[in-house]
Amino acid sequence: MSDQIKTYDLIILGGGPAGIVGAGTAAHFGKSVALVDNHPELGGAGINTGTVPSKTLRETALTLSGARSRNLYGVDLSLRRDATVADFLGHERAVKTSLNNLLAKRLKDSHADVYQGDASFTDNHTISVSLGDGKSESIRGEYVLIATGSSPLHPACFPFGSPEIYDSDTVLELDRLPKKMAIVGAGTIGSEYACIFAALGTEVHLFDGRNVLLPFLDTEVSKALAAAMEREGVIFHWGMKVDCCTSTAETGVVLTFTSGETLTFDAVLIAAGRQSNTGQLNLSAAGIKPGERGLLLVDAHYQTEVPHVFAAGDVIGAPALASTSMEQARRAMRHVFGPAGSDEAYASLLPTGVYTIPEVSMIGETEESLKAKGVDYIAGRAGYDHNARGRIIGDTDGFLKLLFSRSEKKLLGVHVIGEQATELVHIGLIAMLSNCTAHVFDEACFNIPTLGQLYKSAALDALSK
């Protein structure tokens, strides 16, 4: 260990989306930054194992299934049943490499010092970085941002490491597309992969101990998504919990449920949640006590119980999206280093995007949350089937739902299911940031044919009530 301890305004633990944005934001305010990550490639799970690979596979699945015609660089349309999952990811590799390079450039532009190794607290300002070969270095920060992300949870009943047992980090290592696949856990990750493999021709069985799909969604949207997934071949098994799992090359993967029922599959993906990557940080030395699954508790400014230690991204739990993680880190650093009040304006407006087939996206209140709060509201709906662009692209099941306060007609919630839902929701996001009412959409002139015109139709539907 070196005698001199280098001191920074900010030390960031984790080089994923939250860490990179946190570094850039602090640098914008002229602060010195050190970033510690134990992977040689920057980007965290978002770029290296999760978001980019899975969404690339989704695009490929849409093309190969004929669900949507789109020219994708590096995709051979002759690929079918005998292809490996890796065959579908040539484009992903190019995308990942370019994004890794982009993130490295962003860090270079922010003049951040990058330390590759495992980080742990020695006190609440000092971080020890294990550099390998028995070497370590200590650095000290006035502030610390923990953005170490999360990893798939491994329930004890599953023999991870056995043939054809996968989690969301390893599922893209499949040797062949399975004919029959079980996915355990109908959360965001499980639902997205269920849609992808169903589109690629796999018989997909989706198991969950609950009886509703993605309960954070507006109920109407949740039911519509479940119906759409069933039409695409996903077989739901609600209220079923796995008691035991065995896997051999001869028998395949055998799942035994608490009900006593036994089913056999070619492969199983366990998507039973994630746990925060905080176990090796020696948080007790910093005076921080993690919660269940290693989650860090933070306030509205993403501040932990130790005032100068902040946390953002997966380590603090839901929604645990790359987009929200980046925004959390940005707001945390603005709170620390920016002008007073610079992080206050839009604290609760973070959109959610789920890349199922069809896509789902939302922001703000649901009908259920408004009812629970006793808010008098009106809902306006517009279907893709009554929209020219919706007809052109062949999506006749999608719809947009807008929720307005009945008295002021202020926009309170936006819910979209269908093609380009994760793009379409942003019109509503900007409208909510601007405190728009239904009358603004009534007066707005939208291009035709566009899905954006759904906002005008949905607002007029609400005003008619």
- pLDDT, residue 52, reads 67
| Per-residue pLDDT tens digits for 93-134 | 666 676 667 777 777 777 889 999 999 999 999 999 998 777
- DSSP secondary structure string for all residues of 113-142: EEEESEEEESSSSEEEEEEETTEEEEEEEE
- pLDDT, residue 201, reads 87
Burial 113-144 (b: 16+ CB within 10 A, else e): ebbbbbbbbeebbbbbbbeeeeebbbbbbebb
- pLDDT, residue 156, reads 94
Q: Residue 394, Cβ neighbours under 10 Å: how many? A: 11
Could you give the CA distance from residue 276 to residue 58 in angstroms, rounded to a whole number?
Answer: 26
Q: At what angle do helices 322-337 and 17-28 cross, to 10 degrees?
A: 30
Could you give the CA distance from residue 194 to residue 353 in angstroms, rounded to a whole number?
Answer: 16
**Is 0.85 topped by the overall pTM?**
yes
Sites in the chain below the pLDDT cut of 50: 1-2, 68-73, 76-81
Could you give the CA distance from residue 460 to residue 465 in angstroms, rounded to a whole number?
Answer: 9
